[in-house]
Structure 1
Amino acid sequence: MATLSDHPVTTDDLMPLALTSYGHFTSMRVDEEGRIRGLSLHLERLNRDSREVFGTAVDPDRVRAQVAAALTDRTGRCIVRITHYDPAVNLGRPADATKPELLVTVRPAGQLPPPPLTAMTVPYERDLPQVKHCGLFGLLHARRTAQLAGFDDALFTGRDGLISEGGTWNIGFIDTDGTVVWPQAPVLPGVTMALLQEQHADWKTAPVTVEQAKGMAAAFATNTSIGVRALSAIDDQPMPADHPLLAELRDAYLAVPGEEL
């Protein structure tokens, strides 16, 4: 069941979000014990993005309470999505959208790790890439383009030809010397990526061209739902999905303790 500020959501509640897509969100993976890796970072994201999108803060205690209520009587792993939007928003006066509310939805979570991913490079740059916003048309169109070409997802390149991020995930590379490299580009600051980066000060961020990406020893995607997922191909270039460092990265992510609501 979806809830909006503590009450069951109605069609009328959702209509403004459906018609405008003006809002932002975060998705969190809840483990079997009800803990959430990176909960503090998710709360920071909601607050940071709300100031950008609505000019207002988010009460973290309110978020915790609504998520806890949504998880009542649920068992097992799941993904909780918190969408922050103003049910009064309209196309003509988005400046009047100053009283956003919290929409909480829950869905089952898949097993970790998921199978390797194939990605096709697609020229695309997200609006406000630093914000996890609800404007998903461009990235879904890019994903559809990649899937129609036989790939699982799209890997975005900017106007400068550099790799940035995936459809709904960050990408990292393992260089031939064993160094982890994150693309230097305007990207969403992912929570899973941040949790991994906290553990390794020796990793680097650098511009990565498509050709450089295809020459890496391995590549992987990260987000809350998938953890660390190997890429088995970028365009027509196969990528090894069994590099030993990939297993280390998965283990490092799973070793991050979850936080209590």
Structure 2
Amino acid sequence: MPRISYVNGQYVTHSEAAVHIEDRGYQFADGVYEVCEIRHGYIVDITRHLDRLHRSLSELRIAAPMSRAAMVHVIRETVRRNKVKNGLFYMQVTRGVARRDHVFPAEGTKPSIVITAKSTDASVIAKKNANGIKAVTVSDNRWDRVDIKTVGLLPNVMARQQAKEAGAQEAIYVDRDGFVTEGAATNVWFVDADGTLVTRPAEHGILKGITRTTLLDVGAKLGLKVAERKFTVAEMLAAREVFITAATSICFPVVSIDGQTIANGHPGSVSQNIREAFFDVAEKIAI
């Protein structure tokens, strides 16, 4: 069965899906996106994802391409047409198609929207959870508004490539003051010597991850002590556990950073407990 994508009002074969060459997402990375997990036939945390999407659109002064109800309908239909039970959907909204010019196009220019869905291999995720992943640290060279989930991801691409070439699976950004910000595509957490779960505040300098937000709810349910504060690379390297979170992976344990083993080099119990409790707390809607 061929994959199906939604592009500006039409469901089309994925291999033939296309936008105009003067779409501002292509020309300027003038757009935003969301990625949301599908698990056992349910879409996870869609309300928070759509809340963040509309915040991103508002911050960039891009009009919503349709009502929220219509958007949920199209997402569900795209997922159904691709027969995805476990996987993800990707949604991208740009400022639309217009003659190339840095300033905004004329008022009334219609935003572009693309939605795709695909299945993922659960065994790959299970292996990373069982073995843990490796990470490297990199200097944070991104623009200041990383709180907006834009499609301008070139620094993230370069960071992930640097990680790959070092035999790692994630790059962890460090700001000019020596504090950890976040991963190239994840939020970063660690468990300190006292058992406190630590992550950077999301007011500035990082994306307010949806999985991160739900995980705070999970931590409360499990009775974990959680601290949102800045932390250094040295603190992270000395931790009992380090893990990263994202919608497509939930919670991956990190067992090595810059070649240095974290704790005993094996995934820890806190990340495992969080992962096991996550879907009991997260919002789920049927496809």
Fold conserved between structures, TM > 0.5: yes
Alignment correspondent of 2:184: 167
Counterpart selection for 2:255 from 232, 242, 250: 232
Deviates more, 1:56-65 or 1:8-17: 8-17
Q: Is the 8 A contact 1:131 1:188 kept in 2?
A: yes
Q: Give, in angstroms, the shift of residue 183 of structure 1.
A: 2.0
> Corresponding residue for 2:241?
218
- After superposition, the C-alpha distances for 1:1-47 in whole angstroms (9 at most, x for unaligned) are 221233137434365233322110000111222x1221110010111
What pairs with 1:72-221 in structure 2 (closer than 5 Å)?
72-73=80-81, 74-89=83-98, 91-96=100-105, 99-111=110-122, 112-115=125-128, 116-127=132-143, 128-184=145-201, 186-201=205-220, 202-221=225-244
Partner of 2:45: 38
**CA–CA separation in structure 2 for the residues paired with 1:114 and 1:87:** 40
Tell me: CA distance 1:39–1:12, structure 2 relative to 1, closer, same or farther (3 Å). Answer: closer
Q: Would the aligned equivalents of 1:227 and 1:250 in 2 still touch at CA under 8 Å?
A: yes
Note the C-alpha offset of 1:199. 3.4
Q: How big is the shift at 1:51?
A: 0.4
After superposition, give the CA deviation of every residue in 1:82-137 in whole Å (9 maximum; x if it has no partner). 10113314541441275323210112223244512211100024321101110011
* Contact residue 196 and residue 253 of structure 1 kept, 8 A: yes
CA distance in structure 2 between the aligned counterparts of 1:243 and 1:198, rounded to whole angstroms: 20
Aligned equivalents of 1:66, 1:14: Cα separation in 2: 24
- Check whether the contact 1:5–1:66 (CA below 8 A) recurs between aligned residues: no
The C-alpha deviation readout for 1:182-236, integer Å capped at 9, x for no partner, is 0246100001110011233541111111111101111111011001100011112
Cα deviation digits, residues 229-260 of structure 1 (max 9, x gap): 00011112112433211211111213234124
User: How far apart are the structure 2 equivalents of 1:15 and 1:31?
Assistant: 36
DSSP-derived class of the 1:79 partner: strand
Q: What 5-or-longer segments of structure 2 have no aligned partner? A: none
Taking the aligned partners of 1:18 and 1:55, their CA distance within structure 2 comes to 15
**Whole-angstrom distance in 1 between the partners of 2:74 and 2:86:** 18
RMSD between aligned residues = 2.1
The percent identity for this pair of structures is 21
Q: Distance in 2 between matches of 1:217 and 1:104?
A: 40
Contact 1:214–1:237 (CA under 8 A) maintained in structure 2: yes
Provide the secondary structure at the position in 2 that maps to 1:189. Answer: coil
User: In structure 1, how many angstroms separate the alpha carbons of the residues matched to 2:247 and 2:99?
Assistant: 31
Letter in 1 for 2:54: N
Match of 1:36, SS?
Answer: strand
The CA deviation string for residues 34-64 of structure 1, in whole angstroms up to 9 with x for no partner, is x122111001011100001234346211210
Normalised TM-score (structure 2): 0.83
Aligned length: 260
**What is the SS of the residue equivalent to 1:121?**
strand
Q: Do the aligned residues in 2 keep the contact of 1:63 with 1:102 (CA within 8 Å)?
A: no
Where structure 1 has 5 or more consecutive residues not aligned to the other structure, the ranges are: none
The alpha-carbon distance between structure 1 residues 181 and 14, as it changes in their structure 2 partners (threshold 3 A), is farther
Cα distance change of structure 1 residues 12 and 205 upon mapping to structure 2, 3 Å threshold: closer
Residues 150 and 90 of structure 1: CA distance in aligned 2, closer, same or farther (over 3 Å):
farther
Structure 1 residue 139, shift from structure 2 partner: 0.8
